[in-house]
């Protein structure tokens, strides 16, 4: 397996792990909202808070050392394209993950890119590399 395909596979598995992790946190959050709704009766406000919190989990997932839970498990990390020893700044990591909102375009870009880069990677000049444990 060549380097690009190896990284692509690791990125896909890392995203699946992240998605499952967020799903577990969302399930716990949904149980809390159900309990809070029984007390407050204000479902719309609670669901808006819940939706916002869920979105923030995905947007902030890489801010610790350029790694999400899935990336840590797969031993990969987000780095600056021009210097792969440097971790991008928090604002770069957040903006990069905002592009997940347009996930169909991100997915198409990822699979059609020579280096398996997402649109967020290309625009913010980031890449994902293997790291040592």
Number of domains present in the structure of the chain: 1
Domain membership of residue 100 as a residue range: 3-130
Question: Is the pLDDT at 3 greater than 90, yes or no?
Answer: no
4 is written with which tokens? 């690009």
CB 14 within 8 A of CB 73: yes
* The pair of three-digit structure tokens given for residue 111, joined into one six-digit string: 């699979």
Q: Residue 21 — very low, low, confident or very high, per pLDDT cuts 50/70/90?
A: very high
Q: Which tens digit of pLDDT belongs to each residue from 83-95? A: 999 999 999 999 9
Average pLDDT over every residue of 117-121: 96
């Amino acid at each position: 397996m060549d380097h690009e395909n190896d990284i692509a596979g690791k990125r896909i598995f890392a995203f699946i792990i992240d998605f499952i992790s967020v799903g577990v946190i969302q399930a716990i959050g949904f149980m809390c909202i159900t309990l809070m709704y029984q007390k407050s009766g204000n479902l719309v406000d609670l669901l808006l808070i819940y939706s916002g919190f869920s979105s923030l989990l995905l947007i902030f997932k890489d801010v610790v050392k350029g790694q999400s839970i899935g990336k840590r498990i797969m031993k990969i990390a987000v780095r600056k394209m021009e210097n792969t020893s440097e971790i991008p700044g928090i604002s770069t990591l957040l903006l990069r993950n905002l592009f997940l909102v347009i996930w169909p375009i991100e997915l198409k870009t990822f699979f059609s890119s020579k280096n398996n880069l997402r649109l967020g990677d290309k625009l913010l000049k980031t890449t994902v590399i293997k790291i040592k444990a």
